[in-house]
Amino acid sequence: MESMTKYKETPTPETLNFLSSVVGEAHISTANADLEQHAKDQSFHEAHTPGVVVWPDSVEEIKTILKYANQQRIPVTPWGAGTSLEGNPIPLYGGIVLDTMRMDKILEVRPADFQVDVQSGLKYKDMNAELGRQGLFFAPDPGANASIGGMLANNAAGTRTLRYGTTKDNVLRLEVVLASGEIIRTGTRAAKTSSGYDLVHLFIGSEGTLGVITQATLQLAPLPDKFSAAVASFPTPENATQAVSGIMGSGITPAALEFLDLATVSALNASGELEAPEQPLLLIEFHSATDAGLAEELSIVEQICTQEGCSQFEGGLGRKERDRLWSARHQTYEILVRSNPGSAFVIMDVAVPISTYPRLVALAKEELAARGLHGYLVGHAGDGNLHPLIPYTPGDADSYALAFAADQAIVEAAISMGGTATGEHGVGIGKSPFMSLEHGSSLEVMRAIKATLDPHGILNPGKIFGVGEG
C-alpha cells in the first residue's frame, strides 16, 4: 500500500471544485464547525480534523468521489451518526469525510419475508419506529441511534444479541462502493446460501476500510407479543456472574442478560433512574409466544439465581417497569459522566467464553484496584461481553496512563482466555495494538485483502491495522 506521506490530507481548490460539481455546492463544507463536528466520535480518542466534509445522496455520487479520490490519493472516511466508541470514523489523515446522512431512506419493506431494503445513512431507531407500524423490528440494539451503515461497519450488537444475534447475523445483501469506484452487490434475499465466498460478512465489521456500504437488505423479526423482565440482585459480583453461566447452561435463551456491578448500580440509584438494592445485579428479559412459556422461563431462572446466592429476585415485570429498566441501562454512560464531573472515560469492550466470564470480571476488578482506579463494570453478560468504564482526568498524563494500563491488562487477559479485544465496538484506533496478539499470522491475510481491494490505502486509513498503515 502507498506510504502515508503520499496522502493529500488538505484538499486543493481543484478538489473542492470537483466535489462541488458532484454533490452541489450546498453539500460540501470546509467550515470549522462542520470539520470539528466530524473530527471526533463519542470515544476518548483524540480528534483529527478532516479537510472537507461531503454529503452525497446517491451511490453514483459516492462512486464518482471514490474514483477521483483513489486517483488523487486522497483519504476518504465514511461517517454515519458519529456514535462509535473506538475512534472508528475519526479521519486520522484528514482528506474527505463522506457523511451519509442524506442517504436515509427505507427503500422497500417486504413484511411477508421479514426483510427491508435501506440506505446506509438511515438511523436505527428511526427505522424501527417506522417498521413498528407493521409489527416488525431490526433486532440488534446498540443503544445509541446509530446509522445502519455504522452498525454494519462495526458489526454492532447490544442487549438483544443473545436471542437475535449481532448485526452480521441479520443482514442478507449489501451494496458497496470499492476504492476504485466500482459498485458491487453481494448476497441474496434467500434465507441461506452456499454460493461462493461470503462477501457480505467480509464487509460487515470492516469499518469502511474495504469499501463504502451504501445499501443493505436486513432481516427483520416480529415485535414480541409476550415479554417479561426480571431484576436479580446478588451479594457479590462472583455470585452474579456465576448465575450467568447457570442461566446460559440451562437451555434458556433470554432476549437480554445484562450485568451491572455495585458501583454502576449505586450511580444509577443516585440518579433516580433505578431503584434497586445496592448490590451487583442482573437485568434479564424474556420473549415468548405464550404467558405460560414466560412463566416457565422465569421460574427456572429464579431457581438458578437463588442457587447462586441471589438476595432479591423481582420477576414478572410489566411493560412500564421493563421500559424504565432498559432506559436506565441505555443511559448508563451518560449518567456516569454526570456522576463524575471533570472526568473523561476510557470505554472498553472485551468478550470471552461464558465459562470464563466470572474470571474476567474478577480480574477487571483486581486490575482497577491495583492502580487505585474507581471504575465501573457493565456488560452483555449472556454473550460474555464486558464493558469496563474507567474515569481519568483529561489533560493529566499520569491519570490517563493509569487508565490505559488497566485497559491494556484487561484486553490482554480477555485474549488469553480465548476471547477478543472487541466484542462489538470494533477495532478503530484503540484496539489496533492488540490485533497481532489476537490474530497472529492471520492478520497478514487481512492485510492482503485490504491491499487487494484498496491498493492505495485511501479508505479510512489507520484503522484496524494501526497508524502508519492504510
Give the CATH number, domain containing residue 161.
3.30.465.10
Torsion of CA 452, 425, 218, 248, to 10 degrees: 120
Q: How far is CA 285 from CA 51, 93, 137, in A?
A: 46, 43, 17
Residue 120 lies in a domain: yes
Residues 164 and 115 in one domain: yes
Residues 217 and 230 in one domain: no
Residue 204 lies in a domain: yes
The pLDDT of residue 470 is 62
Residues 168 and 273 in one domain: no
**Cβ–Cβ contacts within 10 Å for residue 394, how many?**
10
Residues 235 and 216 in one domain: no
Residues 142 and 210 in one domain: yes
Residue 308 lies in a domain: yes
The pLDDT of residue 427 is 96
The pLDDT of residue 144 is 87
Residue 460 lies in a domain: no
Task: Write down which residue in 165, 190, 222 finishes a domain.
Answer: 222
Residue 470 lies in a domain: no
Task: Write down which residue in 333, 359, 374 finishes a domain.
Answer: 333
Report whether 402 contacts 368 (CB < 8 A).
no
The pLDDT of residue 107 is 98
Query: Could you tell me which of 21, 66, 9, 100 has the C-alpha nearest to residue 454?
Result: 66
Q: How far is CA 299 from CA 303, 344, 353, in A?
A: 6, 41, 25
Q: Say which CATH number the domain at 253 has.
A: 3.30.70.2190
H helix count then E strand count, the chain: 16, 19
Residues 116 and 137 in one domain: yes
Task: Please report, in angstroms and rounded to a whole number, the separation of the first and last CA atoms in the chain.
Answer: 7
Q: Say which CATH number the domain at 29 has.
A: 3.30.43.10
Report whether 345 contacts 390 (CB < 8 A).
yes
> Average pLDDT per run of 10 along the chain, which is 470 residues long?
62 97 98 98 93 98 98 97 94 97 98 98 97 96 93 94 94 98 98 95 98 98 90 97 94 93 97 95 91 91 97 88 88 94 94 97 97 96 96 95 96 98 95 96 97 97 84
Mapping DSSP to helix (H, G, I), strand (E, B) and coil, where does residue 92 land? coil
Q: Which domain holds residue 261?
A: 226-333
Residue 376 pairs with which residues in a beta bridge? 389
Domain total for the chain? 4
Residue 461 lies in a domain: no
**Element of type H or E holding 345:** strand 344-347
Report the distance separating Cα 373 and Cα 230, nearest Å.
31
Chain centre to alpha carbon of residue 410:
19
Residues 33 and 78 in one domain: yes
The pLDDT of residue 18 is 98
Residue 440 lies in a domain: no
Task: Write down which residue in 333, 361, 389 finishes a domain.
Answer: 333
Its pTM stands at 0.93
Residue 463 lies in a domain: no
Q: Say which CATH number the domain at 365 has.
A: 3.30.70.2740
